[in-house]
Amino acid sequence: MTLPDGVERRRFDGAESLATQGEPVYGESVEDGWRRWVPERSKLGAMLELGVDTGLTGGETVLYLGAASGTTVSHVADFAGPTYAVEFAARPTRDLLDVAGDRDRLFPLLKDARAPETYAHVVEPVDAIVQDVATRGQADVALANRRFLKDDGRLSMAVKARSEDVTRDPEDVFDDVLETLEAGYEILERRRLEPYHDDHLAVIARPR
């Protein structure tokens, strides 16, 4: 799999890892201006480490759902174009604003990803949606935000089984999420994110 432009494999403390160029955010190692992309802290980083074809090439316009304090979306903004970062909780959004202070392509939005109509006046059509929301109804969130995705765009989604139902087998949860998602997307790839993240599934899809 080809990495996006702006993402490279570099050596940190004698070990090779993915990296992007930018100001550090979460205590990650930095060498010569390159910051280590820690896959244990990032679902998208884990996808790239595992060889999942996200369709990200570098320079694209991105809508990031579930930005939290900016751990992953900061790496995305290092290599992508305009990056709209949606986060529902006020406390992590304050951290996200600090991260955006060093990145002129990162636009934090204190909004609920389940209500895209509240930010539809801000977000332009995007080449990619990256979704990492820990809530019930993760497929519904992706379907609601499909409106922003260009016809040839890609959804890179991390499904957290325990956010849907802590009592069921994760594989059964994943199957249900994918069945719902297929109402608006064609599934291109699915892959578990172990050993980096337990009970998570990477899903790559394109709009139908």
Residues belonging to the binding site for S-adenosyl-L-methionine are 71-72, 87-88, 112-113, 132-135
Strand partners, 46: none
H/E stretch holding 73:
helix 71-79
Side-chain half-sphere of 7: how many Cα atoms within 13 Å?
A: 24
- The strands making up 106-110's β-sheet, listed across from edge to edge, are 106-110, 83-87, 62-65, 126-131, 149-160, 200-207, 185-192
Identify the three-state secondary structure at position 126. strand
Q: How far apart are CA 184 and CA 160, in angstroms?
A: 20
Residues, the chain = 208
Pairing mode of beta strands 149-160, 200-207: antiparallel
Q: Which residues are annotated as a binding site?
A: 71-72, 87-88, 112-113, 132-135
